[in-house]
Structure 1
């Protein structure tokens, strides 16, 4: 019995293992089938019917696997193939399913591709510019979310082209300029050159000739497509014609029409022929314009180029307006009828412009022209407002999403911050203590050094002052005293000796005033001004400003003494050397500084002469001793200036 049970469990275990291995192999086979059929559906060498069958098989196996990652891509490929085969009902059905599933898993890439495809459908198939613009904008937002700049730029390019086609040229310029910022100059050459071409067209419509030409050249230089380059050159030539640069236009167009590559595109060939004939006719350099116009029209009719036919009718009408008015009117009528059929009111308006010139008494043409002009203006204004609102609403939505993301990120950061708060607090405290200790030592050493420097500066200023006074006593006072003694010995008349002694007395009194303390009380201002006036010669005009506005009681005593002596030294220097006729001294006080501006119109001095004046050097040391600054500005023959700043 035991052996039977053991054999039963062994066989059951082997059966389970075999079943698991079989399931694994089965899943691998399904996965391979999904990928095989998906790749086959993207092979453009196969027919559309085969590719549709391939994508259906891939979708069938993906459902069996329940693979979300590949399922959405396969479903998008199926939707794209329905569009390619013009199966628009199926496109909408599977497109809506794709959007619903992509929304559930927030697959921004698939949502971006879906809205781009839907926008393309509205743009190219149903010709609904509003819906196309909205979907391009939605696609752009999804790609912007995943930072796919190439797709963002592509969508902005499409939006800018819609705005251009709706005559919103200013809005189109703004959108296209934004698109360029997202496009890579190496990987997105096609989109980038298209942007430049569209920008050039906007400037052409806005009559900005130089900008239009510049952007067309950029488009020509950027593109790596020979076919696109021919189109851009054709646009460039047409712009030259618009602004009467016919020789330039003809030169470019002749190169284009002789390019064999143009024969592959009958529409572009007809356009080039038509533009060349028109430019040569306007320039009076052709005799067969009529034949070329008609040949271009024939090619356009053969290739069902409706817009091109409007251009041909308009050019033929303009041509015959000089020779056969009836033919001209008939061609303009054809242009108007086709413009109405294609719903291109601007082309109709352009044709009416010619008809009004040919038949000025036709009120019907004039009324229709005015109606079109008003309706175009209203429509353009409506379009500008709508497109601006779409972009504004999208910007608000994006900002709201970014704000929510920011708040979520901040919450996560806050949680992490709280988790590490204790460690950071301890580390911060230790670091703070180290910084405080370092700063304490640093400032202590710094203050010690500054005190020593300040003490040295004060001593140096004192020694300089003593030396200056000693020199004055020895040279000036001593010399005059010696002269008086000689006069006494020589029995000079008494009045002369008395006058000399009186001069010595006055000089000794001045020395006393210079050495003794200065009045620092409420009378300081008057004493300062009196000193300045007393040192001003009669031939010099002294101008004082700002001293009344300063509350001198708030200025400390040391600063007052220093300023008094420094200004006195400047006045003495002026009297001795400057030969000035005017002196200007301005006082100004801020919350933490007292500023004095001194200037005279004297002879000035060179830097060498300035350095040789002991009195001025002494003023510098005095000001530095109280923590202030003094700056001298002078050149030979250009006066003398001094700017003084002292702490308040």
Structure 2
């Protein structure tokens, strides 16, 4: 606790700072100038051109500049449009959370603009974002809002289709099939081969998931149309759904169509669906083919994770830099208009500055001692938690086994060979559990032998039921990395592998190491049963993982969904 006397001084410092910034804010507001209509139009035109050329970072920058420089009262529609385009760019680059944030920011401007087209678009964007982040209830809510708007028939059909896709993902096949049937009968769909084949394929795949054999008729009809059109993306979808239709009945056709789907998605440069097709191939691969496909899969996932993470970081940086630049420009303009009063104010500012510096130094000193004491307390608490964890493990995993072994020895005739062997088996199991607990909590060796012991720990989880792949470990300059960071890597991977072994039932685990611009990237992925990310409680193992990474000022991103494996992205500086 900070003493009351120190708190009093801090209150005075805070009051002085508030007064200074209030004066500056009032001055900025009185002298604020807006960009002309011509300049705003120029920014939008540049953004549109870059968007057309698929230079999305540049487009995002200029749309953001439009939003920041437009007049909040007279340029409402242009602000709404810019935010819509920014949200679309983020969504198309896999940044669904960022897209949702930008779309939410756009809603008040769209309401004021009263533009039906913008309203429909923002509802569609939000529906897609919620779909890809597995928030299906909100996804349906916004698709229904878009459907209820007074728009054309084509847009209404699109929203019905999206609602059916959500139902299909929720395994509500009956209502999904009913919607797909109504879409199939729409004149606008039947007169368009691309849309008609898509509707046939969606209905056929829904029947497949509902275990209805008539699915093959619809899937084949869709395939024939797409073959005539030579639609690579559509053919990829048809082949993938045909593969899943033959999953349980014909392994050869299953694998054949999975490979065809992979080829078409590769040609169409559709990364996400290419990965899904590769997953289908892996399930029926073995030997060298399994290893080759698994390495390709892990490399693709690793590449996608890094690209999308960089896109997220770039969009966030653009927003931050633009806001900072605008604030700096406003400050410069305000300073220019205050030149006549500057000399008079400077005397007062100097006095205030000295006070602020003195109190800041005092505050830093107080915070230093406070943080030091807190760090000591955290270290003691961490030690206590570690001891408690070991004690609990000993009790939960050994105490009962020892008790039952003692009871067995007391109640059985150990001269009988069978009883004697059973007793020895019990003792051997107790020994192995004791050794595992010891290894889990033993010191981590961080000298030049670190890589050897890290590999040894990881390989301990490579069993007949779990195929474990490591990529890039030997290319990391571990000797250049701090000791505590190496310990963190060791413990985090150990925690993830223990969690995998206990809960995931994974048959394939991949761990990829990579160095990019003095940053270490570690991607962990398994094909286990996964979990809903919104339902994960960060306790025990996962809490330890997150806390360890944050302690070394790293970043962690966990991605999982039921039956879709478990992925963890780690990043920290060398």
TM-score (norm 1): 0.44
Q: Return the index of the structure with the highest Cα Rg.
A: 1
